[in-house]
Amino acid sequence: MERNLTLIVLFAALIVVLGLVPAIPLGFGVPITMQSLGVMLAGAVLGSWRGALAVVLVQFLVALGLPVLAGGRGGLGIFVGPTAGFLIGWLPAAFVTGLVVERVRALPVAVAAGIGSVLGGIVVMYALGIAGFWLFKNAALQPGDTPMSLWAATLIMAPFIPGDLVKAVLAGLIARTIARYRPSALIARF
């Protein structure tokens, strides 16, 4: 029990620390950050439930107002802004990433973690992130404004995908390294 709690807190801290890497702001409200790599790693290394709990801990700190997100952001307002769907999407992203790694034990760790990171950390996170961005943009419409289509919101997010694919590969390689040198830390495989 203590080991699980320690690892959950450790990966929550990793997600927070990756927020210290300067974000690259873009003109439409969604910055490029490294924190999604931490979400992918939490699922890939800790497994579905423990990885999700690490994310819940970070989300709780954000809700309390602590500046733990990239750019020193925090507070309840983040949960209703243009990035809300991505922040909320971290939870199922970590869970799905871990679930995939747990289910494809026949594959090498790097491959399983990479596939899990793409499915959880990109497909799931983007589905919620794009939906949240689309809802935010359309909720802020003034009378006479043209609503944003879901397709337009998806196209706006497309430039982020190559960077997130690189993060998924990194998550796979880091998980493999952890499995090689500290196999007991790789909970998702056992």
Domain assignment present for residue 14? The answer is no
Interval 117-126: pLDDT, tens = 999 999 999 9
Interval 136-157: pLDDT, tens = 999 978 888 899 999 999 999 9
At residue 190 the predicted structure's pLDDT band, cuts being 50, 70 and 90, is very low
Which range marks the domain in which residue 83 is found?
42-139+146-183
Q: State how many domains the chain has.
A: 1
CATH number for the domain spanning 170: value is 1.10.1760.20
Instruction: Check: CB of residue 21 under 8 Å from CB of residue 78.
Output: no
Range 114-147 burial, b when 16+ CB lie within 10 A, else e: bbbbbbbbbebbbebbbbbbbbbbeeeeeeeeee
Domain assignment present for residue 128? The answer is yes
Domain assignment present for residue 10? The answer is no
Domain assignment present for residue 190? The answer is no
pLDDT recorded at residue 141: 84
Instruction: Check: CB of residue 63 under 8 Å from CB of residue 73.
Output: no
Which residues does 55 contact at the CB level (< 8 Å), separation at least 6? 12, 15, 39, 42, 90, 91, 93, 94
Domain assignment present for residue 165? The answer is yes
pLDDT over 90 for what percent of the chain? 74
Domain assignment present for residue 52? The answer is yes
Both structure tokens of 127: 């589905």
Domain assignment present for residue 19? The answer is no
Domain assignment present for residue 12? The answer is no
Provide the 3-class DSSP secondary structure of residue 69.
strand
Interval 106-119: pLDDT, tens = 999 999 999 999 99
